[in-house]
Amino acid sequence: MNMDPKLMQQNYRLPFMIRKSLAPYAGDFSHKWQEIRHNKHVGQASQLAAGVLLLLCHRGGHISDPREPGAWVLQLIKRSSQVSQGGDISCPGGMLHPLIDWAFSLFFIRSGVLPCSPLSFGSTRTLPPSVSNNINSLFLANALRESWEELHLNPLHISLLGSLPTYSLHLFRRTIFPLVAIARKDWTPIPNREVDKIIEIPLANFFREDSYGKYMIQASETLPTSDQGPWEFPCLIHEDDGGEEILWGATFYIIMSFLRIVFDFHLPDLYSQRIRKKTLNPDYLSGNR
């Protein structure tokens, strides 16, 4: 279950490895978007769409020097209590605004004004196949706009590596369109009211069996649902600032998809050994606005 030490000592090669691994999934966004639009056209319940960024950042050492490997981390956000799913860990990003994001995509991304690959990885200065079509560039624009609003993440401070398979949530009737990018190590997040804090989880932690557990979710009596639970979910338990942060749900599965595609990693069958519990209150669905 541990990451190959040789790969950890060759961090400068990781961006190339990720881009190559994600290339076959460049068409998934278009297929899913067509499905959502078709369902809406035939009168089925509307499905919302959201673009997000799975951000990697290199800490310590020099990203281009194999003699100083440093460490890769995933930069995630903890949602504030003012928004739905407060307290959850998620990727930066948010809901698609078709007109605004189409315009952003057309005038800034597809035109080449935003290269989206400013870091020094040689061939990664060119756009990967995942943004070579209109739909993928639409959700890249969506994710970049929302990340600017949430964290003040400058689009010029990331290097795009590709897209992951979409993920659909049934409780919120939402489909997530995830893109993988590397953030410049010296950028400074400025969270807005939707973000409680930034959480950085070392990539190596995902390859440790003792990082995983089981999350027991129970709906409170005041939550409008026909099933009060409890429901069981796999999770990752991360120690942060002397406490614990629980990564579960859609973001957990998106990261598991990333690890499976890039590293051929699969969730260990040991998560029942550590149990954590949570009760969902009504403001989990709407937030305290």
Distance CA 58, CA 183 (A): 8
Q: Using alpha carbons, select from 156, 55, 51 the residue that is nearest to residue 93.
A: 51
Considering the segment(s) 5-207 as one domain, its CATH architecture is Alpha-Beta Complex (3.90)
CA 285/CA 283 separation, integer angstroms: 5
The residues with which 232 forms a beta bridge, in sequence order, are 216
Sign of CA dihedral 143, 197, 251, 1: positive
More confident residue, 253 or 171: 253
Would the pLDDT of 174 be above 50?
A: yes
Token representation of residue 178? 């995830």
At 220, the pLDDT band (50, 70, 90 cuts) reads confident
> What DSSP designation does 126 have?
S
pLDDT computed for residue 120 by the predictor:
35
What is the residue extent of each domain of the chain?
Answer: 5-207
What's the pLDDT tens digit per position in 141-155?
Answer: 999 999 999 999 999
Interval 231-289: pLDDT, tens: 899 999 999 888 899 999 999 999 999 999 999 999 988 766 789 998 887 777 777 76
Pick the more confident residue, 77 or 35: 77
Q: State yes or no: pLDDT of 228 exceeds 90.
A: no
Mean pLDDT, range 178-203, rounded to an integer? 93
Mean residue pLDDT across the chain? 83
Q: Which of 52-61, 62-71, 201-210, 280-289 has the lowest mean pLDDT?
A: 62-71
- Using alpha carbons, select from 97, 76, 100 the residue that is nearest to residue 88: 76
pLDDT value at 124 more than 50: no
What phi, psi does 130 have (nearest 5°)?
-65, -15
Are the beta carbons of 238 and 245 closer than 8 angstroms? yes
Closest of 110, 114, 117, 112 to residue 159, by C-alpha: 117
